[in-house]
Amino acid sequence: MTKRKLGNSGIEVRPLMLGGNVFGWTIDEAQSFRVLDAYAAAGFDFIDTADVYSKWVPGHTGGESETILGKWMKQRGNRARIILATKCGFEIAPGKKGLSRKHIMASIEDSLRRLQTDYIDLYQSHSEDLETPLEETMGAYADLIKQGKVRVIGASNYSARRLEAALETSAKLGVPRYASLQPQYNLYERAGYEQALEPLCIKHGIGVIPYYGLAAGFLTGKYRTEADKSKSPRGEAIVKKYLNDRGLRILNALDQAAADCNAKPASVALAWLMTRPGITAPIASATTLDQLPDLFKAVDLKLDSAAIETLNQASA
């Protein structure tokens, strides 16, 4: 399993990132530990979370995912072997949101405490903050890097215009720039990334770690009829969004490619992402151990040009 560089950051990772949004939400601590153990045992090392996970659950306040991940790393004694990514910027409590210096400095301390570590490998802006000057945001991150609390920084959910402005600001100030971008990108959601962000990331050597690589599970083939919405807590929303003529066309193409290479649709969907220029590692979450082998297989799955073209046309 070869490693890929995260943009020009110098950090190398296994080309699959485990999404931590499910920890403490759709799976409890014990099951999260089992998934994390299996992921690490298979030789993977790149894990993503955020301070706001899973604030949307009744009774949660945010930080639940980071807390579970911190306990796991502490108990396993494996922090040095993990490439740890987390994010700040979304509202975690009234008045606590955005990318101001004050909020970034408070957020990093809370995340470090919950994660039981003294540094974050990849610290990301979870979303744009148009009310805070980029000079303030990038300056705050530069100080965290100087202090050794952060190795490199990244952006998530940024438009091409805002990302380019952030890169220009870093160059003007002579401070570290964003090394990565975390956009929504998969076989179903293509235009938002490919039209403007993909050429920008390639031009500047920015590593891309797309989230929703499996379109919330739709691209696994799990949801094919209206009746399938009962298969998960998010099933109704997934069926409403993706189960249409285009979605079914994509599933048919995935089925064809999967049959040709003796794999599952989930493996093919992630392998397709890995063929795209600039992609470092797609993000995928798992709630059961049974889901992991299909994710792992994607890393070594080689799609031929005919399969790639079929998928490109079906999802165009």
**272 Cβ partners below 8 Å, 6+ apart?**
187, 303, 308, 311
Give the three-class secondary structure for 125: strand
Q: Sign (positive/negative) of CA torsion 8, 6, 41, 294?
A: negative
Question: Rounded to 5 degrees, what are φ and ψ at 77?
Answer: 65, 35
203 in Cβ contact with 7 (< 8 Å): no
For every residue of 1-64, DSSP letters joined together read ---EE-TTSS-EE-S-EEE-TTBTTTB-HHHHHHHHHHHHHTT--EEE--TTTTTTSTT--S-H
Residue type, 315: S
- Per annotation, catalytic residue among 39, 53, 178, 193: 53
Establish whether 39 is a catalytic residue: no
Q: Annotated active-site positions, please?
A: 53
